[in-house]
Amino acid sequence: MTTGTVFRYDDNVDTDVIIPARYLNDPDPAALARHCMEDIDPDFAKNVRSGDIIVAGRNFGCGSSREHAPLSIKTCGVTCVIAKSFARIFYRNSINIGFPILECPEAVDGISAGDQVSVDFDSGTIRNETTGATFQATAFPPFLQNIIRHGGLLASIKAKGV
C-alpha cells in the first residue's frame, strides 16, 4: 500500500516530455530524475516527493521505446502512475524495472491534482483519500507482483536463482 499526493497530466504524455532526449546520454538515474517531466511541468522534479503519484489520461508513455522514461519517474520517488491507458512499450518497460502502473479510467476521472490517493497494488484498489471515492483497477497477477516486489525483471530472475 502506498499513499501520495497526485500530479495530474492529460492524454498523450510522450517519452520525450517525460525525459527529454537531450539528457539521455547521462547514465545516472538520479541525473535523469532531475529533468523528469521538465518539458511539460518545469517544476515537477523540484516539487515531487517520495511516495507521490502521477495520474494521467490516455496513452501515457507514447513515443520512443526508451526505458529512461519510467526509470526517471521511479527515481524521482513517484510510487506509481495511474492512467486511462498506457503505450504498450512503456507498460512493459515499467514492469521490467519494477515500477507499478495501473489502468483505471474511472479513477483518473475521479482524481484531481493535489488529491491524496492510496493504492493497494495487491488488490488493485485505489482510494481518493481527499474525496473518499474508491476505484477498482485490475490487480497485477502474482508473477508481475513478484517482478515489481523484487525491483524488476532481472532482479526477480536472480532471486529465483536462475
Return the bridge partners of 81, or none: 54, 101
Cell matching residue 17: 516530455
Nearest Cα residue to 111 out of 137, 92, 89: 137
Average pLDDT over residues 51-64: 96
Coil/strand/helix, residue 81: strand
pLDDT tens-place string over residues 93-131: 999 999 999 999 999 999 999 999 999 999 999 999 999
Query: pTM (2 decimals)?
Result: 0.95
pLDDT tens-place string over residues 73-87: 999 999 999 999 999
Mean pLDDT of the chain: 95
Check residue 60 and report its DSSP letter: B
Identify the helix (H) or strand (E) that includes residue 102. strand 101-103
Q: How far is the C-alpha of 12 from the C-alpha of 33, rounded, in Å? A: 20
